[in-house]
């Protein structure tokens, strides 16, 4: 695992407390998931897969403003140049989220402030989600950019909350709060903002005290039970990404986002 525990300039921070590993997205206040963040996260998750000293993982965001606003969209052209195509950029993110989902130890995400786009798709790949009682804005707003979720969000959200709630959130670009997320089954628990991380770590310690082999087998069985449906959904999602990339509406959505204005779609 990279030695990034005390590097405050690192795209993410890793801290070990007993058998609980905490991963912090280190780009406050927005905690964007940069290209460097995803490269480092991939290394960290790979390391955790063989680290018997870790019994549970908590993923959070630096500061107290936002978990994450998702991908740094300004880096997309650079990512395409580095990795060869937009598909390659998205493939890495899908690969990392799948590795989190298939990790043999429980992964807990804390949702607070903005949890948008990839900032929700990453928690959807986790096994537990705890949300802040106040101020959370949780959603998949890709429709506002003239496109669709690209990191498995449509598939995992549907599996998590059902078709009706998933369509309501994605097609309307809804941003829901913690109590609403709890009501529809998107999160497991809601806590006051100032104790959210502590409660996530407490859950991590509780789970890390369970028999590790039995935990791994339960995770394998439960996650595996829905993996084929998710795989099919991700394949369908990628077709939708291809169908929307480069359209007039997608270009308008991206330009409007970068120009901080409301997009005007369907101008054909």
Q: What are phi and psi of 126, to 5 degrees?
A: -80, 165
Q: Which of 5, 17, 43, 142 is catalytic?
A: 142
Which neighbouring-strand residues pair with 238? none
Which neighbouring-strand residues pair with 59? 23, 109
Q: Which of 121, 189, 217, 237 is catalytic?
A: 121
Distance between CA atoms of residues 152 and 102, nearest Å: 14
Is 252 a residue of the active site? no
Distance between CA atoms of residues 50 and 24, nearest Å: 20
Distance between CA atoms of residues 13 and 7, nearest Å: 7
Distance between CA atoms of residues 60 and 171, nearest Å: 27
Distance between CA atoms of residues 150 and 32, nearest Å: 16
Question: What's CA 105's distance to the chain center, in Å?
Answer: 17
Which secondary-structure segment (H or E) carries 118? helix 118-125
Is 142 a residue of the active site? yes
Both structure tokens of 213 = 């082999």
Question: Helix 118-125 vs helix 153-161: angle between axes, to the nearest 10 degrees?
Answer: 60
Half-sphere exposure of residue 83: CA atoms within 13 angstroms, side-chain side: 19
Give 31's contacts (C-beta < 8 A, 6+ positions apart): 25, 61, 62, 63, 66, 67, 68, 69, 119
What are the catalytic residues? 121, 142
């Amino acid at each position: 695992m990279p030695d990034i525990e005390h590097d405050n300039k690192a795209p993410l921070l890793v801290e070990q407390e007993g058998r609980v590993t905490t991963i912090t997205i280190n780009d406050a206040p927005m905690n964007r998931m940069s290209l460097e963040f995803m490269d480092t996260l991939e290394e960290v998750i790979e390391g955790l897969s063989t680290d018997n000293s870790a019994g549970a993982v908590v993923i959070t965001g630096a500061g107290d403003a936002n978990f994450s606003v998702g991908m740094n969209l300004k880096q997309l052209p650079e990512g395409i140049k580095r990795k060869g195509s937009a598909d390659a950029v998205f493939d890495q993110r899908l690969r990392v989220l799948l590795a989190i989902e298939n990790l043999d130890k429980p992964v807990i995400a804390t949702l607070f402030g903005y949890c948008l786009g990839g900032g929700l798709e990453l928690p959807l790949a986790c096994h537990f989600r705890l949300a802040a009682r106040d101020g959370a804005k949780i959603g998949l707003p890709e429709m506002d950019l003239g496109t669709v979720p690209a990191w498995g969000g449509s598939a995992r959200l549907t599996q998590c909350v059902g078709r009706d709630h998933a369509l309501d959130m994605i097609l309307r670009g809804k941003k829901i709060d913690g109590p609403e997320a709890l009501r529809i089954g998107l999160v497991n628990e809601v806590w006051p903002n100032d104790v959210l991380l502590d409660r996530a770590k407490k859950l991590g310690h509780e789970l890390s005290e369970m028999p590790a082999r039995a935990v791994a087998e339960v995770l394998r069985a439960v996650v595996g039970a829905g993996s084929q449906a998710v795989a099919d959904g991700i394949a369908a999602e990628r077709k939708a990404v291809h169908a929307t990339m480069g359209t007039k509406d997608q270009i308008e959505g991206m330009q409007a986002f970068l120009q901080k204005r409301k997009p005007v779609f369907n101008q054909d």
